[in-house]
Structure 1
Amino acid sequence: MTDLYDELFPTTRRALLHRIAVAQTEGRTPSLVAAVVRDGRPVWSGARSMIDGHAPTPDVQYRIGSITKTFVAVLVLRLRDEGLLDLADPLGRHLPGTAADGATVAQLLSHSAGLAAETPAPWWERTDGALRPELADVLEGERPLRHPAGRLHHYSNPGFALLGALVERLRGEPWGDVLHREVLEPLGMDRTTLLPQHPHAGGFAVHPWADVMLPEPLTDTGVMAPAGQLWSTTTDLARWAAFLATGDDKVLAADTVAEMRRPAVGPEGDDWSDSYGLGLQLIRHEGRLLHGHSGSMPGFSAGLWISGTDGLAAITMANATNGTNTTRVAADLIALTARHEPRLPEPWRPLPEVDEELLALTGPWYWGAAGHALHLKADRVLELVTLTGGARHSRFRPEPDGTWTGLDNYYAGETLRIVRTADGSVSHLDLGSFVLTREPYGPADVIPGGLDPRGWSAG
């Protein structure tokens, strides 16, 4: 049987090992572990350590910090998909009495609720959660709201503490127990835990001006745990990356996972390099759009990033407070793998069966004088593309009532209808009230507003 961690070419494996070796050396990191996932399967794992001959294995736990938020977001979206809440619901409808009562669930997931970035003192990441035992302790203060809700992205750790409490309120049990039963167990992630379990790495701070270290405390952050408490391994996070790439009906459908990675608040500027969806970060790296999350807690940093276009994901974890940009390293691992072993396209195959009526709909259509073409895809999906290079193209999913619903781009959510004449032949297409005909602006009787009786002319 082929070793799952030995599926890349030797030159690729060498390049990946070199990248993490440089990161561990230049970042002055006690240890660093990494993994690459291709098409849902782990294909490479590597590690570097300050101790010769004792590099961590893929089963060693590291603290993953804010990657925890991706797990909490999945729990919340499961509640939504079950009909127990709506993303537009104000938090106070389900969890009343906090300073964020008016913020919506979607705003909390996307860090656009305007909440403070951190809790009141003391620094929550490095102190025991017993110092703030109640949910009210994470936001109480003179200014719990820093910005108007829904206006901009402002990262908030307390916001995810509230979401964890929301899960507990609607499930009636601790969010960690819900996470284990509904997510970790179905995905086979038995090494992802709220508190460290042997074997696990210790966390360190490395002195900025000398090659010496200081141990960091391994705290239980209590009610702030949904913001960054989890510990995991490269093996488990490889499974999580595969899930965040395609979904899994045991946990969350593919459509809902795709919803998580859409920007929820408009990025600022035309050349944006990072944005945020529903519990997932989005970044651009070497021309690729990646989704995932970074994470850090005192003594640890981590990055988990996915390139849907390449079918690749990478995980990097280190046990030092600063020094190694684990997000950059993970993104580089994706880029290196894609460069050395670019993804092979799926072979072209004909449709397994052909609906003659749908086949007759394919070809050119015109919205006024603008040319479009309709293509027939598998599963009765229709794809409308512009012939002039414009952006108004979409795929359409068939519905039981004989219409189609737009899946993406300009016509996402819009309805495409086939309009027939009295004898049953196709007259035109109605796309959200737009009329598409087989000829430019014709026939006249179906064009809203009619046509000049003189018809087309030279001027």
Structure 2
Amino acid sequence: AGAGAGALTIAQLLGHTSGLASEPPGPWWERTPGTLRPLLDDVLHEPAVRHPAGRRFHYSNPGFALLGALVSRLRGQPWGDALHEEVLAPLGLTRTTLSPQAPHAGGFGVHPWADVMVPEPLEDTGVMAPAGQLWSTAADLSRWAAFLAQGDKAVLSADTLAEMRQPASGPDEADGWTTSYGLGLQLRRQDGRLLYGHLGSMPGFLAAVLVSQRDDVAAVVLANVTAGPAVALIAADLIRIVGEHEPRIPDPWRPLPAVDPALLALTGLWHWGPSPHLLHLRADRGLELIPQSQTGRGARFRAEADGTWTGLDGYYAGETLRVVRAPDGAVSHLDIGTFVFSRTPYGPDADIPGGLDPGGWRTY
């Protein structure tokens, strides 16, 4: 990543597994001007790395400063301009800006033992701005939540967002996890739901955006206080209430826009050894393999330009599905990461590793 941070990857910075310090050196960066740290080198401690890279989750605001600097270098323009052109404008987030635009709420610190408050300062944090200096509205954050739920081809696809929701590091809890972190997204398990999104805080302000894909519901919580309200719990509870009392309306059935007869012929029953699976044709030439027993392995597959498919989840995530044909052009079998799927159990026409007993199926 440069700037004395060592050889770090973008994924490690996005998932906070870079091992970098959690905060920059010097006074509280969110309440002081960015002129105190004018250069990227100024936001890193010496030594910059506190944990071995890729080993554990350790939230790092300087890590996101490095990401902002990387965007600026790759795009040849300030990171905020790139953010506006490539994310905010395509999604219609017209009131999300790097500095407050009137009219806007004031930020306050509220006294813990009395009903009084003090205004918090507003600072341009300079190179640290990518770590949290964005102003927005409830309407814009609702549009952002819709993007997190469904994706947008103008910015990121739903498949890419699904990859971002995968935990980037192992759980701290021995028996699983209740909170985790993906690639730029916070993950939370609560009330039997997997929630994802992010919390935010700057002096005088708290925010939370959480999404439940299962319920197709999101919650946005904003508070103009420095600390106090548990915005994550409030957002999760809002999702629970809606999920319990306003169940998701199923998407209306719609036929595929076009049908490729060759793909349609692939659908139906396939077997890995004696284990049956059903192959479904989905939108955008995608495939979905659904096991018909409790021990089978299912997955969704994305169509690629070369006529193969790439696994998106489960055991076959990242693996390649190929249609293998006989010399006469007829489909022989499916190959998924070397696993052979034939139309019948241990299909005699498929290239079954180890071959088949010449006696075939029998009773003893």
TM-score by length of 1: 0.73
Q: In structure 1, what is the equivalent of residue 293 of structure 2?
A: 388
Which residues of structure 2 form unaligned runs of 5+?
none
1:356 CA displacement: 4.6
Determine the C-alpha separation between the residues in 1 that align with 2:216 and 2:205.
27
Q: Is residue 439 from structure 1 mapped to residue 344 from structure 2 by the alignment?
A: yes
Q: Is residue 448 from structure 1 mapped to residue 320 from structure 2 by the alignment?
A: no
Q: Is residue 248 from structure 1 mapped to residue 248 from structure 2 by the alignment?
A: no
Determine the C-alpha separation between the residues in 2 that align with 1:263 and 1:301.
24
Q: Is residue 218 from structure 1 mapped to residue 138 from structure 2 by the alignment?
A: no
Determine the C-alpha separation between the residues in 2 that align with 1:444 and 1:178.
54
1:393 CA displacement: 0.6
Q: Is residue 262 from structure 1 mapped to residue 262 from structure 2 by the alignment?
A: no
Q: 1:221 to 1:360 in 2, by over 3 A?
A: closer
Determine the C-alpha separation between the residues in 2 that align with 1:378 and 1:108.
33
**CA-to-aligned-CA distance 1:389-429 (integer Å, 9 cap, x gap):** 23611123344444333233222232222333334433322
**CA-to-aligned-CA distance 1:94-113 (integer Å, 9 cap, x gap):** xxxx1213111111111110
Q: Is residue 188 from structure 1 mapped to residue 92 from structure 2 by the alignment?
A: yes
Q: 1:166 to 1:382 in 2, by over 3 A?
A: closer
Query: Taking CA–CA contacts closer than 8 Å with sequence separation of 6 or more, which of the two structures ends up with the larger relative contact order?
Result: 1
Amino acid at match of 1:377: R
The secondary structure found in structure 2 opposite 1:278 is coil
**CA-to-aligned-CA distance 1:48-86 (integer Å, 9 cap, x gap):** xxxxxxxxxxxxxxxxxxxxxxxxxxxxxxxxxxxxxxx
Q: 1:175 aligns with which of 68, 71, 79?
A: 79
Q: 1:203 aligns with which of 107, 126, 142?
A: 107
Determine the C-alpha separation between the residues in 1 that align with 2:223 and 2:19.
31
**CA-to-aligned-CA distance 1:17-45 (integer Å, 9 cap, x gap):** xxxxxxxxxxxxxxxxxxxxxxxxxxxxx
1:250 CA displacement: 3.2
Q: In structure 1, what is the equivalent of residue 233 of structure 2?
A: 328
Identify which range, 328-337 or 254-263, moves more after superposition.
254-263
Q: 1:299 to 1:351 in 2, by over 3 A?
A: closer
Identify which range, 399-408 or 387-396, moves more after superposition.
399-408
Determine the C-alpha separation between the residues in 2 that align with 1:202 and 1:371.
61
The secondary structure found in structure 1 opposite 2:96 is coil
Determine the C-alpha separation between the residues in 2 that align with 1:305 and 1:147.
29
Determine the C-alpha separation between the residues in 2 that align with 1:413 and 1:202.
47
Name the one with the larger helix percent. 1
Determine the C-alpha separation between the residues in 2 that align with 1:175 and 1:359.
45
1:262 CA displacement: 2.5
1:151 CA displacement: 0.7
Q: Is residue 160 from structure 1 mapped to residue 64 from structure 2 by the alignment?
A: yes
Q: 1:153 to 1:371 in 2, by over 3 A?
A: same
Q: Is residue 238 from structure 1 mapped to residue 136 from structure 2 by the alignment?
A: no
Amino acid at match of 2:289: L
CA contact (8 A) 2:332 2:349 kept: no
1:217 CA displacement: 1.8
Amino acid at match of 2:88: L
Percent of residue pairs bearing the same amino acid type? 66
Q: In structure 2, what is the equivalent of residue 9 of structure 1?
A: none
The secondary structure found in structure 2 opposite 1:193 is coil
The secondary structure found in structure 2 opposite 1:232 is coil
Amino acid at match of 2:290: V
Q: Is residue 146 from structure 1 mapped to residue 50 from structure 2 by the alignment?
A: yes
Determine the C-alpha separation between the residues in 1 that align with 2:304 and 2:72.
36
Determine the C-alpha separation between the residues in 1 that align with 2:166 and 2:156.
16
CA contact (8 A) 2:220 2:235 kept: yes
Amino acid at match of 1:414: E
Q: In structure 1, what is the equivalent of residue 322 of structure 2?
A: 417
1:192 CA displacement: 1.8
Count of residue correspondences: 363
1:452 CA displacement: 3.4
Determine the C-alpha separation between the residues in 2 that align with 1:352 and 1:194.
41
Determine the C-alpha separation between the residues in 2 that align with 1:165 and 1:378.
38
Determine the C-alpha separation between the residues in 2 that align with 1:445 and 1:300.
62
Q: In structure 2, what is the equivalent of residue 132 of structure 1?
A: 37
Determine the C-alpha separation between the residues in 2 that align with 1:391 and 1:149.
36
Q: 2:220 aligns with which of 315, 332, 335?
A: 315
Q: 1:417 to 1:314 in 2, by over 3 A?
A: same
Q: 1:350 to 1:243 in 2, by over 3 A?
A: closer
Determine the C-alpha separation between the residues in 1 that align with 2:237 and 2:216.
15
Q: In structure 1, what is the equivalent of residue 302 of structure 2?
A: 397
1:267 CA displacement: 2.8
Amino acid at match of 1:156: S
Q: 1:198 to 1:262 in 2, by over 3 A?
A: same
CA contact (8 A) 1:444 1:450 kept: no
The 5-angstrom pairing of residues 85-96 of structure 1 reads 91-92=1-2
Q: 1:339 aligns with which of 225, 244, 248?
A: 244
Q: CA RMSD in A?
A: 2.4
The secondary structure found in structure 2 opposite 1:446 is coil
Q: 1:223 to 1:345 in 2, by over 3 A?
A: same
**CA-to-aligned-CA distance 1:288-334 (integer Å, 9 cap, x gap):** 11111001122211101112222222111101112111111122222
